[in-house]
Structure 1
Amino acid sequence: MAGHMQNAERPTSPDADPQGEPFLLTRFAVPTRPATFLPRRRLTRHLDQALLTSLTMVNGAAGAGKTLLVADWVAGRDEPVAWLTAEGTGRGPGILWAYLLQALGVAGVQMPPDIGCPADANRVDRTLLARVAAHLGARTEPVIVVLDEYDRVTDPRIAEQLEFVLHHAGRGMRLVLVTRTEPLLPLHRYRAAGEMTEIRGAELAFTPEEAAALLELHGLSLPVDAARALVERTQGWAAGLRLCALAAQERPDAERYLKEFESDRTTVADFLLAEVLKRQPPETQDLLLRISVLDRFCPDLVNALTGRTDAEAVLVGLHRDNAFVEHLGHAWYRLHPLFKEILQAHLRVRSPGLRPELHLRAAHWLRRSGSLEQTLGHGAAAGDWEFTAGALVDDLAIGQLFTGRRSDDLAELFAGMGPDAASPAADIVRAARELAGSDLDRGLNHLHRAESNLGREDAGDQSAARLSCALLEALVARLTGSPDRAEMAAAMARHVRTDVPSGLLDRHPELTALLLTHLGSTRLWAGRFDDARAALVPAAGAPGGVSTALPRGDSLGRLALIDYLDGRLGRAERKAQEAITATQRFGVPQPSGCGIGRLVLAAVAVDRDELDRAQTLLDSVPLSPAPMRDPVTEAGRAIATARLLLARGKTRAAVEAAEPAVSAEVASPWASGHTALITSAAHLAEGRPETAARLLRAVPGDQVACAVEAARAHLAAGEPGAAIALLDTVRPEARTGPGLTVRAMLVRAQAADRAGDPAAARRQLAQALREARREKLRRPFLDAGAWLHPLLSASPLRELAEGWLAPRSVPPGGTPRSPDQPPPVVEELSGREHDVLRRLAQMMSTEEIADDLHVSVNTVKTHLKGVYRKLAVSRRTDAVRRARELRLL
């Protein structure tokens, strides 16, 4: 399978939103003004102030003429205008920002490639917003950003994000919100600062003069007094006036009709039904009722719902006659939202059983046209779950339940699927939902049933379904630590993929990337590092941009862990950072089981003695529910946590944390080895070297880390010969980086020092310092003990340690340290320890120090212990004296 993943990563597609659907160009189009549109100069002059303020709000009821007013104003502007109709983009921050970035590009405002694009519909990374704001803020001329139908955006996160970008973009951006409701923005601050332009319902209302002029455009003449009465009855509502004009055109006495129009009719629905729907021919009425189940439509889709062939001519006529059918461009239309709601209500009354059939017809048409998202939506609305599940599985889109892009939306969509849906596809979707939702047992039950039913079915192409099952089997193998199961899933996938329709896998690279990641993770658990790399490397380089961001990051994290286990801290750190960046760039949230990159960084931080940073990284990776804990991730957590506890002298807690909190089908040799390593180190720290050595002798396999630690234990037990013999058994071809070799060199150096061979000890120690310096590997020296101090106090070893392991011996303006001065501090004091030390020198008591630093007495005592340990003293006066000798005070 790896051969399919060698292509270079393609850049993020500029015409796909975070859910993988093509951008709808009609959302970037400035609405066209109908022939009967009345320009209103008093309002466009007011809108000119938008160029002088950061925020402009045009707020009014439906049909108040907001959109056409702003469109008319935009038509007279020379500045670049990014127009975005927010309808459909309010499902999550990622959708809106992806569309907004695209709108800027359509307006000619090119964004730098490194800004990226949100990958998850439900979230946007803060760094992306910062880059957008910085780029806009650097512009010499402002860009006008119009968000039409902003009232459809109800997520408070979007308002917060817009406020952030608007504030930091400064004069480079002018935001115009066209909305029915009050936006969730700190409007009071903009008003107080004079940075807001507002046009509200009262100002949008037509004046009698404007109403008379509007009626003139419809071929109707009405005296201003009569127009004033009409305005009073309609309250200047633009849509009401237009509806009146359209209806009056059909009356023999238009002026009388307008004079008698009642603004307080029972409902707007009565008026729209009477004056718009019922004046259409019966066939057109039926067409309008049927298409009310659609968000947008084209002639072919309308024909599919009506069984007719004349939809194009009917839609063109309805749009031309201003019958509340809006042309979106590119042969696509939509109903005016109010009209659509009224038609839907009327459809439910007139034909109560027709809606599911219409949704199903739409779903089948959309399935043939390739729009999976809309297909699934209509299929679910029709209640045909076997069709809907089949569409998802046949499209090979089952992986989208796990990639963080549409997983929440898909899980919610299929939450309504009942037990009546009994097809293999339905069970595959159920299995994926349960596995994505942390229920391993239920997921396995559904998966077994799907596989059993697939085995009994002969009709149709089952390749997509079988490949989907292989993906889920690989996931189960990963979660249960089952290498054989993973290999069987991979073999099944290799066999089946040859039958998958051409191009389908290319459209869904996330499936192959996920499968390879699961396979590689299971091989890693089994200790087969080379085989694991063979699967993880192509997964880490998978094409697909945002669609494969999560498995790419997951694979990079596991490759980082392999490097860490091999002792290659620098390589591990770089891959772990890449793992985090792979998902952060697209704003993809990592599931709790995919934080392996941060755990590797935490382990590296411990080895560099950056303990606070290690703790922060560990705290950022939450535990998964018990049945869904990934063994590799939890073993990585156990290693980093136990090592951190050991570094802080908490040996008992370290032993308890060393065992991964998972159950697996097979034991992992390296996980078991590290559990033994931690336990052995705890025994060694507590003065039981024989027990420490005995524990490590029982570890199976050929593990370099265990051999080195066992040698250290033998040396502590007074058995230098056994220690060196153990180190000599390590094969030269073993993959060992500084994380392992430095510890081995320190054991050899200590053995030579004890044997009375200082020259050999210095040689080994110098080599260890050179190896460790590149990686800033401090922990092995801190664990080595006091025997190091005399050696490190003399040149040239002192110079090798200065600046990264020990403080510099020559401070600015100072003189070199003489050979008879005490050795340098092996471990640097933290900032807070320096604070405590300075107050010790002032003869302050523990309670006084705590009060002065605003911390507890116990916290001060903890810092004092650290100061004593690092200065190799046991009393306050000695600590102050030693600190002055080392020029730390």
Structure 2
Amino acid sequence: MAVLDENGPEPPTPHADPRGNPLLRTQFVIPARPPTFLRRERLHKHLGEALATPLTVVDGAAGAGKTLLVADWAAAQERPVAWLTARLAGKGCGTFWAYLLQALRLADVPLTGDIGTPAGPGRVDDALLTRLAGELSARDAPVVVAIDDYDQATDPEIADQLDFVLQQAGRGMCLVLVTRTEPLLPLHRYRAAGAITEIKNAELAFTPREAAELLTLHGLQLQADDVGALVKRTQGWAAGLRLCALAAQGQTDPREYLKGFEADRTTIADYLIAEVLKRQSPRTQDLLLRTSILERFRPDLADALTGRTDAGLILTELHRENAFVEYLGHGWFRFHPLFAEILRAHLRVCCPRLEPELHRRAAHWLRRSGTLDETLGHAVAAGDWEAAADALVDDLAIGEIFTGLRSDALSELFSPMGPEPTSPATDLVRAAQHLSRCDLERGLSCLERAEDALARQNGPSADDGPGPAAARLSCALLETLAARLTGSPGRAEAAARTAEQLRSEVPGRLLEDHPELMALLVTHLGSARLWAGRFRDARAALTTVADSGRAAPTAHLREECMGHLALIDYLNGWAGRAERKAAAVVAAADRCDPPPVPGPGLASLVLAAVAVDRNELDRAETLLDAAVDAGHPLLDPVARAVHVLVSGRVLLARGDARAALEAADRAVVADVASPWAEAHTTAVAAAAHLAEGRPEMAVKLLEEEPDGEPVCLAGAVRAELAAGRTGAAIELLERVRPQSQVGPAITVGTALARAQVAGEVGDLATQRRLVARALEEARRERLRRPFLESGPWLRTLLRTVPLRGLAEGWLVPGSPSSGHPEPVRERPPLPVVRELSGRERDVLRRLAQMMSTEEIAADLYVSVNTVKTHIKSAYRKLAVNRRHDAVRRARELGLL
């Protein structure tokens, strides 16, 4: 074809421009495609539509691949293509038209001498343009004119003249403009008439599949995930991908290089600085560098960083020029990720002390008009911890340290904060961090300091925010948590009353935006009430959160409250209800990523307690392990007390009365004693004494418990009978008041105690009737332990008719008419690889007492990591991988 290509024929001697300078041949050459050029068929096909419209605009950023795209397409055309690079031709309209006329001649477009030449470098006669348009309109087939670097033709008169020729040429010319900026032509008219083909910057971006093909051309084979990550970071920018590929070719591990390269240390930085940054005016460069610290920005935010008022015009122009500034809508802009990286690196080199001040200004502006995350990020980057803490507290977001999707991020964000400065907000944040880790001593110290400072404060905040009310409400939240952790129900109630009074003093929108704050407070209040044994009040509070909807920030709290409600059901004797609630919590936790904090520990303990009632001891031990080893501490006295209770019951059921007694004697430290916790652990201790033949000790323990705790009744009756005091056992039963709210786990035990007394006095008919009723109630929920703990008198009775029929299949061997009896599997003994060390035996003995890793460490005065090392070593020597397997194997070998 008659066009100067890289392999094409020599052109005739070029004419001179209006200044008398020769027209440089390089401006008419279609650029060569490198060997690694990738033809992208979707773009090639789209560009083919240029022949159907008079105007085509390929508009993209520097290095977007637009020139090579059009060059490849032009070289493949069978018809003449006039190519012009406007880098030199844009120096005035006369020079431009002189170059364009020469491009047409080189493409073998016959032009008569009547057209003439431009009158001067900056002037063209209308007659020349009219005659040129006339000759083009007379052509049978259109001539394709491709103008590269059209953005260099900055004279608005050139656009008007080009539009005139294009309109008057009719179907005689197809114009293809390759440009970094949207041309000044009246594009709206062309769009309305359907007379334009447009390929924009977004379409020029490489897709992951295209990027993979490009990397293959460079000899690089990457996994799809790695290619996707590279495309995301470069946003499919052609030059960035090519430069990355070239740099990776020289690396020993191209994959690792492309995963973590530093953009400011590559040729990408040289390219963007030369092609984008240095082309801007000093004022624009200053704005680009200062706003590079921002993930996104508005003109007024940019003005706050520059101290000027021209950001709106500059950003709009940069976006129009495709200068790696993207418009996000609603007045917000952002930089291309690689451009932002390079600008930030350039800022640190040029102005190393400016960055903290810019972050401080950004935080100040964003606190009024941005998001909390952005405000916190910039305040922390500026080292302004007081501003960061103020923003968190004033936004009522302190609860997010404990729950929600941002809890880990917030904890990490504030972790570098030292002991200074000290303000109410910084002390509240420190208190929240310490309390979230159950560090009561430091947490309470910081909380007390914050409360003292707030007591001396009055009036609104400096930023017209919610004032001290938000900080005091945050204090109330932390007070309820502290009360829960210390087992102080009265303190929790006082904090809850304070919170209720403060709710009206903070903006309602803040409470709506942060539902986790009040949900946390009510959860802690409910747990404190539960500890106090006020089950009805605890249920009311916990149900408020559990039924609070599906808001993401309170999801973990809803599960936590369900775990507490499951415990209330269990303590009231409703094992089936408790199991269903607790199982739902554990299932929800298993689906969570990341797992919830504090995790499903209490729910697992409730399931373990139910498993003990059913004599499913292996399952109970597995659930105990899950609760203790889940990676989350047992937060409060409630969970710790249940752990002690279930551990003791498992040990007792396994026949290790001494270890059960030791477990029951482990005190749960709290400001106020819990009636149910004391009653249940006393019942375990009394049962252990009975098992070892000490009924008098059991009687003495149970005498100290109040009459209103039914869990102690069965044990007290058995103890009195074992001590030979049938009259005392009868008196105990006469003092029992009917309770309509308790479930089978309590009523079955009471019925069996009455049955044992009836047998002692010779009332066998009543005894059988009571046992039959107990069997019927227990069978529904497979409650086996009350029968196994009642003593030998019951085993003889269960062989009689009709009681045997009620017990068969779930309590005693026989046809499984109902229920699911626990299968018994004998396991072969496992060899010990080596003898356990003395310290490993110490640790193993405490494992047998169901102590947690933290408790063992404290008891032995060693670190938690040291305990874990000993546990791992003991497991290896015993050839096991679970706690209860290790304890069982050690007992078989006589090591315990």
TM range (shorter): 0.5 to 0.7
Question: How many Å separate the matches in 2 of 1:832 and 1:266?
Answer: 65
Q: Residue 798 of structure 1 aligns with which residue?
A: 804
1:312 CA displacement: 3.6
Q: Residue 296 of structure 2 aligns with which residue?
A: 296
Q: Is the 8 A contact 2:573 2:742 kept in 1?
A: yes
Q: Residue 539 of structure 1 aligns with which residue?
A: 545
Question: How many Å separate the matches in 1 of 2:394 and 2:581?
Answer: 35
TM-score, normalisation: structure 1: 0.63
Q: Is the 8 A contact 2:516 2:553 kept in 1?
A: yes
Q: Is the 8 A contact 1:451 1:469 kept in 2?
A: yes
1:458 CA displacement: 1.7
Q: 3-state DSSP class of the match of 1:805?
A: coil
Q: Residue 644 of structure 1 aligns with which residue?
A: 650
Q: Residue 56 of structure 1 aligns with which residue?
A: none
1:734 CA displacement: 6.1
Moved more, 546-555 or 612-621: 546-555
1:275 aligns with 2:272: no
TM-score, normalisation: structure 2: 0.62
Cα-to-partner distance string for 1:215-271 (whole Å, 9 max, x where unaligned): xxxxxxxxxxxxxxxx9xx99649999xxxxxxxxxxxxxxxxxxxxxxx9955344
1:579 CA displacement: 3.2
1:176 CA displacement: 6.7
Q: How does 1:740-889 map onto structure 2 within 5 Å? A: 740-809=746-815, 830-833=823-826
Question: How many Å separate the matches in 2 of 1:504 and 1:484?
Answer: 28
- Given residue 720 of structure 1, which amino acid in structure 2 is its aligned partner? T
Q: How does 1:472-871 map onto structure 2 within 5 Å? A: 472-543=478-549, 545-581=551-587, 583-587=589-593, 589-592=595-598, 595-622=601-628, 629-700=635-706, 702-733=708-739, 735-809=741-815, 830-833=823-826
Q: Residue 342 of structure 1 aligns with which residue?
A: 342
Q: Is the 8 A contact 1:305 1:362 kept in 2?
A: yes
1:666 CA displacement: 1.5
1:695 CA displacement: 1.4
1:782 CA displacement: 1.4
- Given residue 553 of structure 1, which amino acid in structure 2 is its aligned partner? E
Q: Is the 8 A contact 2:810 2:816 kept in 1?
A: no
Q: 3-state DSSP class of the match of 1:334?
A: strand
Q: Is the 8 A contact 1:742 1:771 kept in 2?
A: yes
1:717 CA displacement: 2.8
Q: Residue 407 of structure 1 aligns with which residue?
A: 407
Question: How many Å separate the matches in 2 of 1:737 and 1:542?
Answer: 27
Cα-to-partner distance string for 1:599-656 (whole Å, 9 max, x where unaligned): 0110000001111111111001227999985111100101111111111111111111
Q: Residue 255 of structure 1 aligns with which residue?
A: none
Q: Is the 8 A contact 1:566 1:740 kept in 2?
A: yes
1:437 CA displacement: 2.8
Q: Is the 8 A contact 1:557 1:579 kept in 2?
A: yes
Q: Figure out how many residues of one structure are paired with residues of the other and give that number.
A: 624
Q: Residue 423 of structure 1 aligns with which residue?
A: 423
Q: 3-state DSSP class of the match of 1:444?
A: helix
Q: Residue 158 of structure 2 aligns with which residue?
A: none
1:657 CA displacement: 1.1
Q: Residue 73 of structure 2 aligns with which residue?
A: none
Q: Residue 477 of structure 2 aligns with which residue?
A: 471
Q: Residue 109 of structure 2 aligns with which residue?
A: none
1:369 aligns with 2:369: yes
Cα-to-partner distance string for 1:547-574 (whole Å, 9 max, x where unaligned): 1122222222122212211111112112
Q: Is the 8 A contact 1:440 1:627 kept in 2?
A: no
Q: Is the 8 A contact 1:305 1:358 kept in 2?
A: yes
Question: How many Å separate the matches in 1 of 2:448 and 2:360?
Answer: 29
Question: How many Å separate the matches in 1 of 2:266 and 2:591?
Answer: 53
Question: How many Å separate the matches in 2 of 1:571 and 1:405?
Answer: 30
Q: 3-state DSSP class of the match of 2:671?
A: coil
Q: 3-state DSSP class of the match of 2:333?
A: strand
1:791 CA displacement: 2.7
What is the aligned-residue RMSD (CA, Å)? Answer: 4.5
Cα-to-partner distance string for 1:398-422 (whole Å, 9 max, x where unaligned): 0011115222211221123234422
Question: How many Å separate the matches in 1 of 2:370 and 2:211?
Answer: 32
Question: How many Å separate the matches in 2 of 1:462 and 1:649?
Answer: 58
- Given residue 451 of structure 1, which amino acid in structure 2 is its aligned partner? E
Q: Is the 8 A contact 1:708 1:727 kept in 2?
A: no
Question: How many Å separate the matches in 1 of 2:582 and 2:576?
Answer: 10
- Given residue 289 of structure 2, which amino acid in structure 1 is its aligned partner? L
Q: 3-state DSSP class of the match of 1:346?
A: helix
Q: Is the 8 A contact 1:517 1:555 kept in 2?
A: yes
Question: How many Å separate the matches in 1 of 2:424 and 2:226?
Answer: 58
| TM-aligned CA distance change 1:834 to 1:565, over 3 Å | same
| TM-aligned CA distance change 1:593 to 1:476, over 3 Å | farther
1:360 aligns with 2:343: no
Question: How many Å separate the matches in 2 of 1:698 and 1:490?
Answer: 33
Question: How many Å separate the matches in 1 of 2:597 and 2:658?
Answer: 31
Q: Is the 8 A contact 1:359 1:379 kept in 2?
A: yes
Q: 3-state DSSP class of the match of 2:698?
A: helix
Q: How does 1:65-214 map onto structure 2 within 5 Å? A: none
- Given residue 738 of structure 2, which amino acid in structure 1 is its aligned partner? P
Q: Residue 386 of structure 1 aligns with which residue?
A: 386
Question: How many Å separate the matches in 2 of 1:333 and 1:65?
Answer: 23
Q: Is the 8 A contact 1:631 1:660 kept in 2?
A: no
Q: Is the 8 A contact 2:212 2:227 kept in 1?
A: no
Q: Is the 8 A contact 1:626 1:662 kept in 2?
A: no
| TM-aligned CA distance change 1:860 to 1:385, over 3 Å | closer
Moved more, 390-399 or 669-678: 669-678
1:789 CA displacement: 3.1
Moved more, 758-767 or 543-552: 543-552
Question: How many Å separate the matches in 2 of 1:389 and 1:435?
Answer: 16
Q: Residue 447 of structure 1 aligns with which residue?
A: 447
Q: 3-state DSSP class of the match of 1:807?
A: coil
Instruction: Pick the structure with greater CA Rg.
Output: 2
- Which consecutive unaligned segments of at least 5 residues does structure 1 have? 1-35, 49-61, 70-147, 149-173, 206-210, 215-230, 242-264, 812-823, 837-853, 867-889
Q: 3-state DSSP class of the match of 1:297?
A: coil
| TM-aligned CA distance change 1:331 to 1:741, over 3 Å | same
Q: Is the 8 A contact 2:485 2:636 kept in 1?
A: yes
1:753 CA displacement: 3.1
Q: Residue 871 of structure 1 aligns with which residue?
A: none
| TM-aligned CA distance change 1:742 to 1:627, over 3 Å | closer
Q: Is the 8 A contact 1:549 1:588 kept in 2?
A: no
1:746 CA displacement: 1.3
Q: Is the 8 A contact 1:400 1:406 kept in 2?
A: yes
Moved more, 393-402 or 669-678: 669-678
1:306 CA displacement: 2.8
Question: How many Å separate the matches in 2 of 1:677 and 1:438?
Answer: 29
Q: Percent identity?
A: 56
Question: How many Å separate the matches in 1 of 2:424 and 2:739?
Answer: 50
| TM-aligned CA distance change 1:792 to 1:240, over 3 Å | closer
